[in-house]
A and B are shown apart, each in its own frame.
Chain A
């Protein structure tokens, strides 16, 4: 984590508000949201369905426009009225988005043509597009499927193609909006592995929007959204410790954390972080070893 004090956040929102009209009623989705995302971070935004987390994701790369409030990317206000179209497209290039439904975000009829779609829109010379496409497919491990038709791929493979499509635009940050929700366990594992690798090896900032707690546990930092407001922020260990808050937000803690917290409630003294299987094994193992 590059969370040094005087560093400018890569993305920063200031009192972000968003609402939509439904049958004449105005429904507030986001109420003064303030978050900061730093370069190279892996951040999970969690919240139940309808908590506003997907809306937030779509605001960060200007697919939606906020009612009020500001969004700064690298210190530049992207909600500024004077923002040129080119500048807006540059924001979208730098901050990519992978959506939930693997079927609905692939444009072309051939895998490599789809990966090329972004760079083509950016007006990159043909030879360079070719290089970028090959590289992107290699990173997500889909090189052998380059000439496939997308509808013959599995859900997990389609999502990795969608990731390659974003990578080919050379982004600095990728937002994953519940990108694993429609996948089977194998597809989910493959996609998560790719995401982790992008963050660790390529230094790409990752924002993952999810309600799967074990996916959130992979992040450096978790932001909890409820009812359009940020209700908590912290490391997975800090967040999962507060089971009551998560339950109040219609969320769970991971099962292993629940076991550890259950033991705590029975009066046992557990030391250390408890957010995934290795950390819980260590904490509970220590308790078992110390008890005699």
Chain B
């Protein structure tokens, strides 16, 4: 029960783990932009190579990486199939023609490109963010990156980040609590496992109401605790840990820019197929 780890964070001290979380958020966004810039076979090959490099730099086992791709496998398959069958290319590029089915070279390439692009998107976001950055660091990074918005548009950036922090803090507590309540109601003869859908849904009422009541009490206690410790919102607040960009962060940023420029240049290389 005590061993719940939230999110997909994979502890390690790889180069990717050691990057500043703010830089990782920026890199993730840039990487996604790069993947959308790709238009030629050469550019997509570069994207694929960069994905593999990123995985290697993150020191995450391939098995775990693939696990993050698995949930969207069906989406990848369907979109690529739609591309294969639906894209209408130049008549001279017709590959297969059978009854109403016409497959063009363009369709096949588009399908492959989409697979590579989605793969890169998933790898980009999970390697830079979820796998190598703890949820709390991520929240922190987003708060600090967005803090200029607070000054410009009066956006409640700190408050939002505080809510995220508290949610992350209390999820394990609530999981424990739910476990206890389920055990308690089972002892009173609650049955989750029989009856139709409605009956089963109803069986959860004795769990949800106490859980809600307990959340309410916790919220009041927590509010008191925060008041006692002089919490008064984000204004005038300082932080114990000051994030400082290190040379490696700038190196990573430079490489990402290089990838972007490279992709744009490679888009002009007439190799195999260009969109």
Contact = CB atoms under 8 A, between A and B. Distances in A.
Interface string A100-116: 01011111111011001
B216 to A, nearest CB: 11
Interface string A123-137: 111100110010000
Interface stretch (B26-34, B58-66, B193-201, B224-232): B224-232
A165 to B, nearest CB: 6
Contacts of A93: 230
A151 interface: yes
The interface size bin for chain B is 20 to 34
B151 interface: no
B165 A104 contact: no
A126 B241 contact: yes
B240 A113 contact: yes
B79 to A, nearest CB: 37
B238 A120 contact: yes
A291 to B, nearest CB: 53
B262 to A, nearest CB: 39
B237 interface: yes
The interface size bin for chain A is 35 or more
A118 B230 contact: yes
Contact of B229 (A124, A125, A133, A165): A165
Contact of A121 (B136, B172, B230): B230
A25 interface: no
Nearest to A130: B240
A149 B165 CA distance: 13
Contacts of A150: 169
Nearest to B172: A151
A60 B217 CA distance: 21
A27 interface: no
A169 interface: yes
B70 interface: no
A122 interface: yes
A126 B242 contact: yes
Interface in A75-108: 85, 89, 92-93, 96-97, 99, 101, 103-108
Contacts of A119: 238, 240
B173 interface: yes
Contact of B238 (A125, A152, A169): A125
Interface in B210-242: 217-218, 221-222, 224-232, 236-242
A117 interface: yes
Nearest to A64: B224
B237 A120 contact: yes
A104 B136 contact: no
Q: Which of A106, A130, A151 has the most CB of B within 10 A?
A: A151
B227 to A, nearest CB: 6
Contacts of B218: 101, 103-104
A182 to B, nearest CB: 12
Interface of A: 58, 61, 63, 85, 89, 92-93, 96-97, 99, 101, 103-110, 112-113, 116-126, 129-130, 133, 149-152, 162, 165-166, 169
Task: Rank and list the top 8 A-B pairs by shortest CB-CB distance, nearest first.
Answer: A104-B221, A105-B225, A116-B240, A118-B229, A129-B240, A151-B172, A121-B230, A97-B228
Given A107-B169, A169-B229, 19 more contacts: A58-B224, A61-B228, A89-B232, A97-B224, A97-B225, A99-B224, A105-B225, A109-B169, A117-B226, A120-B238, A120-B239, A120-B240, A123-B237, A126-B238, A126-B239, A126-B240, A126-B242, A129-B239, A130-B240
Interface of B: 2, 135-136, 165-166, 168-169, 172-173, 176, 217-218, 221-222, 224-232, 236-242
26 contacts: A58-B224, A63-B228, A92-B227, A92-B229, A92-B230, A93-B230, A101-B221, A104-B221, A106-B169, A107-B165, A107-B225, A108-B165, A109-B136, A109-B165, A113-B240, A117-B226, A117-B229, A120-B238, A121-B229, A123-B236, A123-B237, A124-B238, A126-B240, A133-B240, A151-B176, A162-B225
